[in-house]
Chain A
Amino acid sequence: MENKYLKDEVVRISGVDPKKCMRCGKCTATCPSFDEMEYHPHQFVYMVESGDIEPLLHSESLYKCLSCFACVDRCPRGVEPAKLVEAVKLSVIRQKESNRLKADDIAKYLDSDMPQQAIVSAFRKYSK
């Protein structure tokens, strides 16, 4: 039942319908973070669809996703794998009841090489 609850939550948070996936793997083909990730974008979609979410919760892959949204852009079926990654991450953060990145912390990470996009993206990724 735990899995069913988690799956429903991830699907609800993300607004993604993993059933639309036709298993072409274009998301994984296009992922710039492929080598860093334990579970690849197509696996996220497949594992969420089959309710196998537990391993994803504990995987570092959640924090290796760059949120570049290449997989969302390229997916021919409109599945949006990156949104699923974010949704799984959010459910982890919500369980821990704290933000991994607080607004006050941002200043110390800032440097001139950091694109502002990355900060916005990180804030979205690591906050509830």
Chain B
Amino acid sequence: MQRIGVFVCWCGSNIAGTVDVKAVAEALKNEPGVVFSTDYQYMCSQAGQDLIKNAVKEHNLTGIVVCSCSPRMHEATFRKTASAAGLNPYMVEIANIREQCSWVHKEMPLGTQKAIILGKAAVAKVNLNTPLTPGESPVTKRALVIGGGIAGIQTALDIADAGFPVDIVEKKPTIGGKMAQLDKTFPTLDCAACILTPKMVDVAQNENIRIFSYSEVEAVKGFVGNFEVKIKKKARFVDETKCTGCGACIEKCPQKKVPNEFNLGMDTRRAIYIPFAQAVPKVATIDPDYCNMLKNGKCGVCTKFCAAGAIDYKQKDEMIEEKYGAIVVATGFEPISMDKFDEFAYSQSKDVITSLEFERLTNAAGPTAGKLLRPSDGKHPEKIVFVQCVGSRCSACAEKGKEYCSKICCMYTAKHAMLTRDKYPDTEVTVFYIDVRTPGKNFDEFQRRAVEEYGVNYIKGMVGKITPEGDKLKVRGSDLIANKQIKIDADLVVLAAAIEPDKSARPLATMLTASMDTNDFFTEAHPKLRPVESPTAGVFLSGTCQGPKDIPETVSQAGAAASKVIGLLQKDKLVGNPCVASSDQLMCNGCSSCERVCPYGAISYEDKDFPGPNRTTKTRRVAVVNPAVCQGCGACTVACPSGAMDLSGFKNTQIMAEVDAICK
């Protein structure tokens, strides 16, 4: 039999105002197991805690019920108090008579009656409490960053700076991501390459960072502090350790007609290539889809010209297995496909381009060496129309657009319009907008400058139809303020395409058992208070994989994710939560119901031998819970049809005792 002490808190007048605390203490005195019951003005104060400690000693208490505020507020406080008095901290129960009682009731008799019932339930539960001890697990002091864009780069640099080893896995042959493709960056108009490439070099030179480029994560096992990850290093048919990046092979490669994905297919590259001049690692890669030698064994020119002997046509994909303590997801975004927007004629005319294509057209390292020329005939465009919100804020057509605002388009469109007018004052630039959204430091000032100083023509309204006619694009849009339909014969149309998470994010989320929203953005543990952590312990989020954001925001989030990783890696051991599920293997029938509902992937199955009749053994499939992964949500205990699953600290018998006490 337990010896339980009940401590009723007044919380000043917060509780005592609508609950007769003395009557509650008195009523709970007669409950089974209760040997001591009292009330006090502020139980969480030092004096209140001393009162509890003394009572534990004087009355040899084995369990404590504190009738006070929400356990979110002070459960930890009172568990510490119990520990200090020599009790197991899990022998403490909180009856929430503030948020769920005194604050929501106005009449004293009702409030008091409910407080007594809540107290009785807590007493009934403590009667069945058992001391619990949390387990410990070691921490592998190495982090994995998936994705080598600006988010991944910044996270890796910050973790490495704190002294921990980091690996970056990047699926492309070079790190740099989308930012490497941009021309200038708003609102200060620094050139993207000028601020990004030094960081890429820092990554390459950092002793704590390893880059697995042209590689992908294949499998993830384990749990926080102890992940085991399989990484596939795709064959690039060039020995990375030998290649000097001199480019002789590229010059001589006879296969010249490969669409250059770095320039979004607006020019061509060779079958052996380095994506751009500042690539990291600066190592050539052979594209097996176009290389004549790999396709039909007839060529081998690059081998002849490679002084370093780095070409290796027989190279195979390599599997790397490594252990990590923490994983950061930084998989980034892609602009959505414009193929389904027939009204904007993207597939019909080369002169209807996306904003990312416009970035390449104005970039000095792009297909036109920075001269703004129409893709169709290489002429200088005189009338340019920008269309915003193409596929963004689109709730009617889920198969082609996205319901959310892509956030970055208003600013980059203002940038494009401004830079065009700056460089080519003879061009007429029109922007069709629904709303101009510019929250951010110096953002609105930037957009206004495009209008007031650079004379960009902003029209409130959407474009309804674009028809290619001759060498012109007939643009029909509405001007809602003038209540007019506008017709413009444009030379070039730029579509601000919505952005969506990279396609690799969904399978990765499955591997990590990290949750995603309906748009395939990773979900945060808490949208406001834990924005860079996934609900899955040990998995962190950096950059646009979590939601649309610009570069300043991405870099801040990358740093925040890094600091969370550092906080985890500097621990030698992780103390677990002892309130985890476990399965009674004699009752488990291996039906998989629990595995299906577990949001954390904590449940697996094993075949186990059980004694059968007449000294035989029977092999059955039974559920096993990994206590380091289990977060104690209890979903499995409810789903289990045979009652085999139970949650320590919240056992089915305890919950039922509480219900009985309330319904008595």
Interface residues of chain A, those whose CB is within 8 Å of chain B, are 20, 22-31, 34-35, 40, 42-43, 70, 74-79
Contact = CB atoms under 8 A, between A and B. Distances in A.
B460 interface: yes
A64 B302 CA distance: 68
Given A25-B460, A25-B480, A43-B483, A77 B395 contact: yes
Nearest to A78: B396
A76 B343 contact: no
A28 B465 CA distance: 11
A77 to B, nearest CB: 5
Given A24-B462, A29-B477, 16 more contacts: A23-B434, A25-B434, A25-B461, A25-B477, A27-B464, A28-B485, A29-B461, A40-B485, A70-B464, A74-B343, A76-B393, A76-B394, A76-B395, A77-B396, A78-B395, A78-B396
B210 interface: no
Given A26-B464, A28-B461, A29-B464, A42 B397 contact: no
A26 B395 contact: no
A76 B478 contact: no
A35 B484 CA distance: 9
Contact of B478 (A22, A26, A35, A79): A26
Contacts of B490: none
A60 to B, nearest CB: 17
Given A23-B434, A28-B461, A29-B463, A75 B478 contact: no
A31 B395 contact: no
A40 B480 CA distance: 10
B135 to A, nearest CB: 52
A-B interface, 7 closest residue pairs, ranked by CB to CB distance from nearest? A30-B464, A29-B464, A78-B396, A26-B462, A25-B478, A29-B478, A25-B461
B401 interface: yes
B532 interface: no
B389 interface: yes
A22 B464 contact: no
Nearest to A37: B485
Contact of B389 (A24, A31, A75): A24
Contacts of A20: 395
Contacts of A42: 478, 480
Given A76-B397, A78-B395, A30 B465 contact: yes
Contact of A30 (B343, B394, B479): B343
Contact of B463 (A22, A26, A43, A70): A26
B359 to A, nearest CB: 24
A43 to B, nearest CB: 7
Nearest to B479: A25
Contacts of A35: 485
B458 to A, nearest CB: 14
B53 interface: no
Contacts of B464: 26-31, 70, 74
Given A22-B434, A23-B434, A74-B464, A28 B480 contact: yes
Contacts of B479: 25
A34 B485 contact: yes
A79 B476 CA distance: 20
Nearest to A29: B464
21 contacts: A23-B434, A24-B393, A24-B434, A25-B461, A26-B462, A28-B461, A28-B464, A28-B485, A29-B462, A29-B476, A30-B476, A31-B485, A34-B485, A40-B483, A76-B394, A77-B394, A77-B395, A77-B396, A78-B395, A78-B396, A79-B396
Contacts of A26: 462-464, 478
Interface in B425-477: 434, 460-465, 476-477
B220 to A, nearest CB: 38
Nearest to B390: A76
A105 to B, nearest CB: 33
Contact of A28 (B393, B396, B401, B478): B478
A109 B389 CA distance: 44
Given A29-B476, A29-B477, A42-B478, A22 B393 contact: yes
Most chain B C-beta atoms within 10 Å of own C-beta, residue among A22, A26, A31: A26
A74 B401 CA distance: 12
A72 B389 CA distance: 18
A12 B483 CA distance: 28
B461 A24 contact: yes
Interface string B326-357: 00000000000000000100000000000000
Contacts of A22: 393, 434
A79 B401 CA distance: 15
A112 B362 CA distance: 54
Given A26-B464, A28-B461, A30-B465, A75 B396 contact: yes
A76 B485 CA distance: 18
Contact of A29 (B389, B396, B401, B485): B485
A80 B386 CA distance: 25
Contacts of A76: 389, 393-397, 401, 462
A32 B127 CA distance: 77
A20 B461 CA distance: 16
Contacts of B476: 29-30
Nearest to A26: B462
A31 B477 CA distance: 10
Contacts of A24: 389, 393, 434, 461-462
A20 B478 CA distance: 19
